[in-house]
Chains A and B, each alone.
Chain A
Amino acid sequence: MLLADATNYVKDVDNVMIYIVTISVIMLLGVTFTMIYFVIKYNRKKNPKGANIQGNLWLEIIWVAIPTILVLTMFYYGFSSFTILRRVPKDAMVIKVTGQMWKWSFAYPNGKKYDTLYVPQNKSIKLEMNSVDVNHSFYIPAFRIKEDVVPGRTDYLVFNAQQQGKYDVECAEYCGMHHAYMLNKVIVLPQDEFQKWVNTPAPPAAKNESPAAGNASKTQTGGQQGQKGQ
């Protein structure tokens, strides 16, 4: 949904989108209808001899200058909204994210590890993301954010969820056979419920899913020869 308020950042992105698309639609319709109008008006039957107009310097200047101004405003608008995304508030809660073929896992400041992303409402969250194998990309469409998760480095994402609910997480950088199934959820809870959740130890089954256990080393040895497709 356009202009939803899942996070305070969504409107920023959607407004940039609306701005650029509005100008684009005007330009597209302008060009298309002018073209069709000329083709009808200056049809060979009605207009047997064409005029030999070589060009017009003023027109060339105008249709360079006006688009230049327009695209510079688009650039600036896109850039200034984007800087919001890169600003990390001091009080942000850091959650460590690990991507691996083909699942995500999460580690909380108190040491809790889990395989679904639970976050408190109205609290800035900083995801610090690593990959243990190939490139992935952590993408939450409803929040309009994504960032690649590249092995050998730590990338981050920041958001502040405004509404309780469940949102899809998808891997957006192709990572092999089950790339399309590298899905997850963000579950936004009220602060107190989140506190309760984060302070309850994860059930053993979920714990085993966490990367610190068996899987990371498994992928390590999977190494060179890699994941041959079946």
Chain B
Amino acid sequence: MANHVIAENYVDFYKEKGKHTGLGAWLLTTDHKRIGIMYLVAIVTFFLVGATLGFLMRLEMLSRGRTIMDPQTYNSLFTLHGLIMIFLFIIPGIPGVFGNFFLPIMLGAKDVAFPRLNLLSWYLYISGGLFAVVSVFLKGGPIDTGWTFYVPYSIRTGTDVSWMILAAFILGLSSIITGLNFITTIHRLRAPGMGWFKMPLFAWALYATAWIQLIATPVVGITLALVAVERLIGIGLFDPSLGGDPILYQHLFWIYAHPAVYIMILPAMGVVSEIIPTFAHRTIFGYKAIAISSLAIAFVGYFVWGHHMFSSGMSDTARWIFSLTTFLVALPSGVKVFNWVATLYKGSIELGTPLLFCMAFIFLFSIGGLTGLVLGALATDIHLTDTYFVVAHFHFVVFGGGGFIFFGALHYWFPKMFGKTYNEKVSKAALGTMVIGFMLLYFTMFILGYEGMPRRYYDYLPQFATLHIVATVGSWILVGGILVMIGNLLVALKKGKKASMNPWGGRTLEWTVPSPPPVENFEEIPVITHGPYDYEYNINGDSDKMEENYH
């Protein structure tokens, strides 16, 4: 299997001459790696736009009353920020970039099952993104409904809701197609000998995610389309003045949007399950428990949507049932955390940047998950729902969890994707700065929430002033850290030393091909005889460390 002979004389996928050249080599490609890189560029761009909006909102909250913008602008900013971060950054993030680039390689395949469909998903993603951007500049002005599009407000507002709904609809299509493609790839294209339980855990996580994408996304597509129809011709499905039911809308929205939270976090959990064994240089603890807990999360995750609606006027029966299921869905996530920590036991641990990202993840995600218990309990949720407590909770989960691991994955696979190494001192310093800024920004929000600061508020009562100032200062530190992190990687792209085939000593298949990989990944399709994290079995890949390469 170790065909490192090809490492010397081969053409990597960037240099390979295909049918098209120049920009066409990218825009018309069906190579999963190029598509992954195209997602990377688009997704990081949207992340930076979203982060800028978040930064501006925090600037507005620095003082009471007007600081830099009017209320209508603030309302549009949190709406756009939420929509961009959810639909354009975190949902497509890890599957679009790292799923595309690495799933086929980790399975020992040459590409995904449907390479052309894969390119179509990217185009749909870009079109959805463009529609979203265009809607901001149309006559009605930027949408101001919050990312949840709650009726009846979304039916009554004069802003351009329908365009944004169209954008979300198209993005949903892209997500469905990616899910379909990954499911088929995993079923059909595993290398000979790779049984289900010899598959890397990242593939398991993408598999569970893909099923949610495939089954849950159509629900939101239809629901949002109905909102647009309601706006256009007033069919009276959701609008109470026409006999419709606003609570029905909330059910339909969360039937998608809660499982979607697992679309955001499961792939990140998959990445963590790859990074930890690599840096502990030992096999993962509880492989099957981690794999199966992904499926359990995906499954139970369908039955908890009502916890977003504990104060919305649902029946008391519905309230306690959803509270119970919510507590149950916490268990498989706990199982994962315990197994990750146990994987460090008696390892031989190299404290590289990607591992530090995982440690930050475990800490921040645990806070997010544990505060989720507070929100799952009825008595406390009634007090805290729709306050800053919730804003803090979901930033800890989706940003401290999913977002941090998006960048952790980038640092893990950067040498493989670009064949370059980056400065680890700078990346570690950037990460530390981000964690400090993050805690100042969002931990304060837990306290603000308990004291009664509602979310989506342009202004606040005097008793909240001090903590709002702390949070805003935190946002400066956080954004500073993000910029240093990205700057460091850009410098590495230009000036980084050449990366070896296996800089971290990983055991999964992507570390057996050159960095960057050749077009069809493998010279010959590998035959799998052992588990994915088998450190007893010695692959012949060079496991010299990145550190040594750099200095």
Residues on A facing B (Cβ under 8 Å): 12-13, 16-17, 20-21, 24, 27-28, 31-32, 34-36, 38-39, 42-44, 47-56, 59-60, 63-64, 67-68, 71-72, 74-75, 77-79, 81-83, 85-86, 133-135, 137, 139, 141-142, 144-148, 150-153, 155, 168, 170-181, 183, 222-230
Contacts and interface: CB of A to CB of B under 8 A. Distances in A.
B246 A150 contact: yes
B246 A35 contact: no
Contacts of A142: 452
Please name the 6 residue pairs, one residue from A and one from B, whose CB atoms are nearest each other, closest first.
A141-B452, A78-B377, A228-B158, A152-B240, A226-B156, A50-B282
A42 B280 contact: yes
Interface in B285-305: 285-289
B196 interface: no
Given A32-B362, A227-B158, A229-B144, A42 B344 contact: yes
A68 B75 contact: no
Interface stretch (B127-135, B166-174, B198-206, B365-373): B365-373
Contacts, number: 288
A55 B288 contact: yes
A20 B362 contact: no
A179 B334 CA distance: 37
Given A28-B367, A52-B283, A79 B535 contact: no
Contacts of A85: 379, 382
Nearest to B452: A141
B281 A50 contact: yes
A168 B462 CA distance: 12
Contacts of B281: 44, 49-50
A63 to B, nearest CB: 5
A145 B246 contact: no
Contact of A54 (B283, B387, B454): B283
Interface of A is mostly: mixed
B432 interface: no
Contacts of B458: 179-180
B282 A53 contact: yes
Given A141-B383, A150-B313, A168-B452, A176 B241 contact: no
A59 B450 CA distance: 36
Contact of A42 (B145, B240, B348): B348
B245 A31 contact: no
Contacts of A170: 452, 454
Contacts of A13: 379-380, 382-383
A88 to B, nearest CB: 12
B325 to A, nearest CB: 10
B6 interface: no
A53 B345 contact: yes
B141 interface: yes
Given A44-B350, A82-B379, A145-B382, A134 B156 contact: yes
A230 B74 CA distance: 12
A178 B331 contact: no
Given A17-B374, A148-B313, A151-B152, A38 B347 contact: yes
B204 to A, nearest CB: 15
A37 to B, nearest CB: 9
B425 to A, nearest CB: 18
Nearest to B449: A141
A76 to B, nearest CB: 9
Contact of B289 (A31, A55, A135, A176): A55
B377 to A, nearest CB: 3
